[in-house]
Structure 1
């Protein structure tokens, strides 16, 4: 339940702080990134008044490489997809940072001129309002949080205010989840490489240093990630035949 708009400014800010503290706690129940993305969109739909569907656009490494990593409904998924297909729309402007504004709102997509092709397509799905907010840290744009409604002018001032505060919390949580996932992957890779060194050292009667150098040379010669070479060594219990040809 969101704080009511009839509260005084100080009381409302206190209520918002308490609400989002609880939300931040819940979003990282399991720090795996895919689950966290899904929790973010589901809670956005609950928290922001007027929101009927939500999706997250994740920014790719190059232009036209964006993708939806979580959505609450097929409608939100399709509304996002149309933006990628047509290469225009609020979530792309937000995710790419091509607009100075970090928050983009349209209260009636039937008369939207900023993204004419997308607006025409998405109104045929029944979408009337959109609110897109950039998810960004000081060093990178993660993407955009996209909120949709079948109602005209669904996102008023309170909705925008709540969505912007929520996006700050969501960005923090997503950054933490990505860091945890990255650290977990790094630790797993380090473990696999260490065990593979042991396998090669015992199998070929070489030192651990020589085993690591062998792994590194195969990785460089075959343009294969070191951790993948290590996993093949573990799978075959020796030098991977497929990488030696």
Structure 2
């Protein structure tokens, strides 16, 4: 009787030399460059799913989802609409038993959706096998890249190892894009607060320290984020 799904729990500390090693290395280098050229996490994930189809042996479609401990799953990037349909059909534990294993294993393979009781939604869409790889993990949620194939048992150990190498690059690029986005937002917030402080200085004849202190106290009093209060003051000033 065929095994319904395989959990590849190994961290693959000793990666093998592939027969086409130079070709794989070159492909991963190009992929890494494309990933690191993205400027936001969303663009990084959109680029990652497109690259996954080209790099992972056997992959026909790919998607990235965020899985909550509550079993809620949100698809954030996809190559085709079939991926969104496939993942929206798996929202409960009984429907997707192999996803549950991602909390304890970095990689999970679904060998054949026709043979797996939880793979009916995939089978109906013509998707016979899947390879899920963790990108991020904490106590509350997982970020997972899943490759899908129209063939059963499409993802072997080689595909899994290539997937592990690829997702390592994706994770690094995603972290880098997240930091850049946070820094950009921090600079925008600083500029916004600076503008609001300047407006208060002019209107209320205050120095910079007094104006900023007034802004902070108003934020606490009204239970509103300092950034949002600053934006409100700037927008009101621009409207006059």
Structure 2 Cα separation of the partners of residues 220 and 206 of structure 1? 20
- Residue 71, structure 1, aligned to residue 78, structure 2: yes
- Tell me the equivalent position of 1:143: 143
Q: CA deviation at 1:47?
A: 0.7
- Residue 175, structure 1, aligned to residue 175, structure 2: yes
Q: CA deviation at 1:124?
A: 1.3
Q: 1:43 to 1:90 in 2, by over 3 A?
A: farther
Q: Does the 8 A contact of 2:98 with 2:109 survive in 1?
A: no
Q: 1:93 to 1:138 in 2, by over 3 A?
A: closer
TM-score scaled by structure 1? 0.81
- Trace 1:6-45 onto structure 2 (pairs within 5 A): 9=17, 12-45=20-53
TM-score scaled by structure 2? 0.83
- Residue 101, structure 1, aligned to residue 109, structure 2: no
Question: Larger deviation: 151-160 or 178-187?
Answer: 151-160
Q: 1:140 to 1:181 in 2, by over 3 A?
A: farther
- Tell me the equivalent position of 1:123: 123
Q: Does the 8 A contact of 1:41 with 1:72 survive in 2?
A: yes
Structure 2 Cα separation of the partners of residues 134 and 10 of structure 1? 23
Structure 1 Cα separation of the partners of residues 56 and 83 of structure 2? 15
Structure 1 Cα separation of the partners of residues 112 and 31 of structure 2? 30
Q: 1:19 to 1:137 in 2, by over 3 A?
A: farther
Q: CA deviation at 1:50?
A: 1.2
Structure 1 residue ranges without an equivalent (≥5): 1-7, 239-245
- Tell me the equivalent position of 1:226: 226
- Tell me the equivalent position of 1:203: 203
Query: Which structure is higher in RCO with an 8 Å CA cutoff and minimum separation 6?
Result: 2
Structure 1 Cα separation of the partners of residues 237 and 127 of structure 2? 56
When the two chains are superposed, the root-mean-square deviation of aligned CA atoms in Å is 2.7
Q: Does the 8 A contact of 1:103 with 1:134 survive in 2?
A: yes
- Tell me the equivalent position of 1:111: 115
Structure 2 residue ranges without an equivalent (≥5): 1-15
Q: 1:121 to 1:37 in 2, by over 3 A?
A: same
Q: Does the 8 A contact of 2:108 with 2:133 survive in 1?
A: yes
Runs of 4+ in 1 over 6 A off after TM superposition: 137-141
Q: 1:75 to 1:142 in 2, by over 3 A?
A: same
User: Aligned with 1:84: secondary structure?
Assistant: coil
Q: CA deviation at 1:35?
A: 1.2
Question: Larger deviation: 62-71 or 196-205?
Answer: 62-71
Per-residue CA distance 1:158-179 (angstroms, 9 max, x = gap): 2111111101111111111111
